[in-house]
Amino acid sequence: MQLAEFLNLQRITLDEIIEKAKTSLQLTPDDVLFVCGSLVEGLGNEKSDLDLFLVTSRQDIQCTSPNAVMLIVRRCRIDVRVVQRSAVEELIKRFHDWTAELRQPRNAILFSYDDRKLLNRIRVGEPLWGAENYRKLQDQINLTDLAKHRLDCARYHAGTIQVDLAGLRSAGDQYSMLFASQELLGHTVDALLAGHHYPNFMAKWRVRQLMDLPSQWELELPGRPFEISAMDVYLSLHSAPQTLSPSAIFNHAQRIVAFSRRVLPWAEYRLLGPNSIPLNAASTGHTMTGQPLPHLDLDVAIRYRNGSFELFRLQGKGEIFSLSEKEYSLLCLFDGETSRDYAIREAERLVDKDTGSDLIEALMALVQHGELEGKSFLNESALREILRPGLEARKKTSTG
């Protein structure tokens, strides 16, 4: 629902709202009043709130609730959030400083949830009072920078969850793996949407934003295509496995991690290297026969940094392997499901028929050399219990 439709439903007009705010809040020429939120972004419904913000330097606002004033226009109740201009200017300055820093995804989480919401609200809102001053604030917030911030938050959280998943696998805790992998999926979808320049990071709008993506959303996304809509991919991966056995949950987590490795580097490549040649998804129509390629391990990641892709393990000491665009695209096929024959045909398509097979063999050797291949689900605590009698007997023998 759009704002105009909501106003018609409530039988009120923007002019009535402005007049009520002008008299109730005693608006001055230096004040800024703007409307924002789901209704302005076309994501709302008849139950949505009308989000108004007053940016002011005045201290004489009589709030009816913490930092807000209630307006009643006919039968419509409207909360006007009051924000000090100095706080807005300080937030925008901090955001500018962040954009100028050397990229460190962890720095993105220094902005609170409310900080992120306010930045997005200012950027996508519409002025009702003090339009000139509002546009000056709005113009200081770049939509692409907001998308990059959404991506960096997703990248940071995704990395920590991948490490957690590896630890949960070792502990044999498949139930926690299930929920952790679902959380990873959410951050992966955030990265996907950031790559398509959607700045609104609120989880409740993920599905609506996915529904807006074009039917060819996978056209430039490396890896074997799902060949369904982005929303259907999200829903299918979000569904819990049919059984809660360790192997079923482990395979579920691996599928989500493999999808994450397709999405996050692609989004970085698209946002951080906008003049780069578009990447391509694998072709469709191949019959999936033959031995599958191995999984990469749960805590193995690929990132785009300083003009190239890098393959590495997220924890511990390990070598960082530089990848070309084509090597990255082919490594996205290492998902435990895609067959080696399929991968060879894709390599032949990307390079040539004479060296395609050699390239897949080289990537397999790279994965083995770097010890990056996925490990099986193992309950180390249970294994210690199984081995304890033998270990104790051996200990007695050595001390007897």
| Rounded CA separation 389/129 (Å) | 78
Model confidence at 105, pLDDT cuts 50, 70, 90, reads: very high
pLDDT of residue 344: 94
Q: What is the mean pLDDT of residues 115-138?
A: 97
| Rounded CA separation 105/83 (Å) | 28
Question: Is the domain of 20 the same as that of 163?
Answer: no
pLDDT at 282 over 90: no
pLDDT of residue 363: 97
Question: Is the domain of 309 the same as that of 233?
Answer: yes
pLDDT at 41 over 60: yes
pTM (predicted TM-score)? 0.91
> Is 300 inside any structural domain?
yes
pLDDT of residue 45: 86
> Is 398 inside any structural domain?
no
Boundary of a domain, candidates 140, 163, 180: 140
> Is 202 inside any structural domain?
yes
- Supply the range of the domain harboring residue 113: 3-140
Average pLDDT, the chain: 91
Question: Is the domain of 47 the same as that of 161?
Answer: no
pLDDT of residue 18: 95
Model confidence at 390, pLDDT cuts 50, 70, 90, reads: low
> Is 388 inside any structural domain?
no
Boundary of a domain, candidates 107, 140, 173: 140
The answer to whether the beta carbons of residues 361 and 293 sit under 8 Å apart is no
Question: Is the domain of 130 the same as that of 165?
Answer: no
> Is 321 inside any structural domain?
yes
Question: Is the domain of 360 the same as that of 298?
Answer: yes
The answer to whether the beta carbons of residues 217 and 278 sit under 8 Å apart is no
pLDDT at 140 over 90: yes
CATH classification of the domain holding 82: 3.30.460.10
Boundary of a domain, candidates 140, 161, 192: 140
Question: Is the domain of 88 the same as that of 199?
Answer: no
pLDDT of residue 381: 52
Q: How far is CA 295 from CA 59, 111, 223, 290, 292, in A?
A: 59, 35, 13, 15, 9
Q: How far is CA 113 from CA 96, 116, 119, 150, 264, in A?
A: 17, 5, 10, 11, 21
Question: Is the domain of 170 the same as that of 274?
Answer: yes
Q: Which residue has the tokens 């190239």?
A: 308
Question: Is the domain of 66 the same as that of 124?
Answer: yes
Question: Is the domain of 219 the same as that of 127?
Answer: no
pLDDT of residue 178: 97
> Is 394 inside any structural domain?
no
pLDDT of residue 384: 57
Phi, psi of 356 (to 5 degrees): -60, -50
| Rounded CA separation 208/222 (Å) | 24
pLDDT at 278 over 90: no
Task: List, in sequence order, every residue forming a beta bridge with 292; answer none if it has no partner.
Answer: 339
pLDDT of residue 27: 95
Question: Is the domain of 130 the same as that of 160?
Answer: no
Residue among 259, 255, 230, 218 nearest 240 (CA)? 255
> Is 386 inside any structural domain?
no
pLDDT of residue 185: 98
| Rounded CA separation 279/220 (Å) | 5
Question: Is the domain of 131 the same as that of 152?
Answer: no
Secondary structure (3-state) at 120: helix
pLDDT of residue 400: 53
pLDDT at 195 over 70: yes
Model confidence at 49, pLDDT cuts 50, 70, 90, reads: confident
Domain count, the chain: 2
pLDDT at 380 over 70: no
Q: Which of 273 and 330 is assigned the larger pLDDT?
A: 330
Question: Is the domain of 165 the same as that of 220?
Answer: yes
Percent of the chain residues topping a pLDDT of 90: 79
> Is 299 inside any structural domain?
yes
pLDDT of residue 283: 85
